[in-house]
Amino acid sequence: MWTDIAERGAAARDRSMTELLQSGNRASEFSVTIGDFLFDYSKTQMSEEDREALLDLARKSDVAARRDAMFEGGRINETEDRAVLHTALRNLSGASVYVDGSDVMPGVMETLTRMEGFAEAVRDGSFAGAGGAFTDVVNIGIGGSDLGPVMAHAALAPYCDGPRVHFVSNVDGAHIHDTLAGLDPATTLVIVASKTFTTIETMTNAETARRWMAEKVDDPAAQFAALSTAADHTAEFGIAPDRVFGFADWVGGRYSVWGPIGLSLMIAIGPDDFRDFLSGGHEMDMHFCGAPFRDNMPVMLALVGIWHNQGQGHATRAVLPYAQRLLRLPAYLQQLEMESNGKRVSMDGGDLPVHSGPVVWGEPGTNGQHAFYQLIHQGTRVVPCEFIVAARGHEPDLAHHHQLLVANCLAQSEALMRGRSLDEAREIMRAKGLEGDELERQARHRVFPGNRPSTTLMVPQLTPHVLGQIVALYEHRVFVEGVILGINSFDQWGVELGKELAQSLEPVLSGEADASDKDASTRALVDYVQRHR
Ligand code: F6P
């Protein structure tokens, strides 16, 4: 099965995308729409037969059965023995979802209602700090307890009409220092977001924030809220239960923005817009569950990913939002995709027969164009690019900016595909007056190989609903790729070893423990820090 996909990928290497696009209705046949939401993958080297083979792969990998098991509360996260039900958090239909025989939806809805009450109270000042209505909210969390809200908060800036929201994640004291500088403790609400409430970075930052607040506020705990599955730990920290928003272990960290972890976002944009965000995600869920695979956006996005990575051997994938407000989307997707599918052991404990998920990276356009696009166009490695762009912005007065933005986005995918031949480059040099060897030498530098694949996700406007669609689309893409690879996309054992070693190194750095069991390199680095701090 994998041999067939790899052989197809190799056979397609020299296939001209420009020629593919000349035949028939490829632009519409190699795209998927959900209402106004468009995913175009026509600028790839995938043929009709390749697509059939990939669809067959998805069918044989039991994607539909695994999908249904996920939505029905099955314990598909087998290495942690957990259900995977972030979809229940955005199940605005309220239809029952059972885990071990009990319906989780009443609890989900009750928590959503509590969050809404709290967010409204913060926004309208009926819940206030020692110095009056909250002007600032600081969300302390890391990984999935940070990246979702941080990404969505930036993406939805035009909808932010509540108090200012800030995010602290890094254990580097510089992060919390710079964030708290200039804030008034008496009008600041601190939200500690941690599924486990044991993550060292988050707990260290939370304690620092509490000390900072205690310098000015008599009862600092009264200005703290917690988002966690661990009610015992939040109580130990001193946060009253009415300001604790809990969720179940079936919400994975990197899938948690839809529930309590999204509280800071809800405070920023308001409960109605937050519901729009949820409804976008729910709409994508309905589509994912109902559409035939060929017309199914998450399935086709996943198959394009498999085609480029496992089929054609392209190890990385660039996510290039032509939307400055999506500046944190690449970082968000790095966790979503790489923590989920960066695994070398398959579900049954065997070695993965092919490479794991790709390296995901990116930056918003047009900035990236002036940085790394050189390599994308002329480097020796092919980087499949995923463009994301909205037809209209939120600044009607600056519509000409938006037009330039869109033109640049379309130009890049066109340039990647078309390239520039040696003859065309020679012509340009000739027009500049060059000739002979110098013309030849200069022309070669100006050749673009072209035939480089890209996809484009086009949306009407980056609204809360559309952002919900985008995030859920990528979640399901990761799920489908994981199922096809035979991976459990919902654990993250690969983050543990570094955490354990960091714990053992802290006393070594402080001098409380000796470094004799460390390797020579680590000992030398410790020695350097001890001499220079
Ligand atoms: O990096 C590992 C991880 O467990 C992520 O999966 C998670 O999102 C993050 O740490 C934060 O964990 P917590 O929400 O428990 O603080």
pLDDT tens per residue, range 170-191:
999 999 999 999 999 999 999 9
The residue whose CA has the least distance to atom 6 of ligand 1 is 253
Q: Answer whether residue 1 shows pLDDT above 90.
A: no
Question: Which member of 201, 283, 337, 339 is catalytic?
Answer: 339
End-to-end alpha-carbon separation of the chain, Å?
Answer: 56
Clarify whether 86 is annotated catalytic.
no
In the chain, the percentage of residues whose pLDDT exceeds 70 is 100
Q: Is 188 in the pocket of ligand 1 (CB under 6 A)?
A: no
Q: Are residues 117 and 49 in the same domain?
A: no
Q: Are residues 264 and 355 in the same domain?
A: no
State in Å: Cα 68 to ligand 1 middle.
Answer: 26
Look at residues 227, 248, 269 and tell me which one is the last residue of a structural domain.
Answer: 269
Does some domain include residue 410?
no
Number of domains in the chain: 3
Residue type, 79: T
Average pLDDT over residues 280-297: 98
Does some domain include residue 322?
yes
Average pLDDT, the chain: 97
Q: Are residues 92 and 61 in the same domain?
A: no
Does some domain include residue 414?
no
What pLDDT was estimated at residue 297? 98
Q: Are residues 259 and 331 in the same domain?
A: no
Closest CA to 267 of 425, 115, 129, 80: 115
Does some domain include residue 246?
yes
Q: Strand 316-322's sheet: what is its strand order?
A: 31-34, 37-40, 454-459, 385-390, 316-322, 359-361
The residue whose CA has the least distance to atom 9 of ligand 1 is 143
Q: Are residues 42 and 155 in the same domain?
A: no
Q: State the helix-helix crossing angle for 48-60 and 63-71, rounded to 10 degrees.
A: 50
Pick the atom of ligand 1 nearest to 228's CA.
14
Q: 370, 363 in Cβ contact below 8 A?
A: no
What is the pTM for the complete model shown? 0.97
Q: Are residues 503 and 487 in the same domain?
A: no
- Bridging pattern class, strands 164-168 and 37-40: unpaired
The residue whose CA has the least distance to atom 16 of ligand 1 is 194
Average pLDDT over residues 278-291: 98
Q: Are residues 53 and 156 in the same domain?
A: no
Parent domain of 216: 86-269
Does some domain include residue 426?
no
CATH of the domain at 45: 3.40.50.10490
Average pLDDT over residues 281-296: 98
pLDDT in tens, 218-273: 999 999 999 999 999 999 999 999 999 999 999 999 999 999 999 999 999 999 99
State in Å: Cα 143 to ligand 1 middle.
Answer: 5
Q: Is the ipTM of this complex over 0.90?
A: yes
Q: Are residues 379 and 481 in the same domain?
A: yes
Q: Is 142 in the pocket of ligand 1 (CB under 6 A)?
A: yes
What phi and psi, each to the nearest 5 degrees, are found at residue 172? -55, 120
Q: Are residues 40 and 150 in the same domain?
A: no
Does some domain include residue 167?
yes
pLDDT in tens, 476-526: 999 999 999 999 999 999 999 999 999 999 999 999 999 999 999 999 999
Q: Are residues 486 and 460 in the same domain?
A: yes
Q: Are residues 219 and 300 in the same domain?
A: no
pLDDT in tens, 48-64: 999 999 999 999 999 99
Does some domain include residue 80?
no
Clarify whether 195 is annotated catalytic.
no
Q: Are residues 297 and 261 in the same domain?
A: no
Q: Is 200 in the pocket of ligand 1 (CB under 6 A)?
A: no
pLDDT in tens, 439-477: 999 999 999 999 999 999 999 999 999 999 999 999 999
- Sole residue written with tokens 């009926």: 126
Average pLDDT over residues 151-170: 98
Q: Is 199 in the pocket of ligand 1 (CB under 6 A)?
A: yes
Clarify whether 339 is annotated catalytic.
yes
Confidence label for 435 from pLDDT (cuts 50, 70 and 90): very high
Closest CA to 86 of 329, 258, 230: 258
Look at residues 269, 287, 307 and tell me which one is the last residue of a structural domain.
Answer: 269
The residue whose CA has the least distance to atom 8 of ligand 1 is 144
Listed in order, strand segments (DSSP E) in 125-223 are 136-140, 164-168, 188-193
Q: Is 31 in the pocket of ligand 1 (CB under 6 A)?
A: no
Does some domain include residue 176?
yes
Question: Which member of 19, 49, 370, 445 is catalytic?
Answer: 370
Look at residues 250, 269, 288 and tell me which one is the last residue of a structural domain.
Answer: 269
Q: Answer whether residue 75 shows pLDDT above 90.
A: yes
Confidence label for 24 from pLDDT (cuts 50, 70 and 90): confident
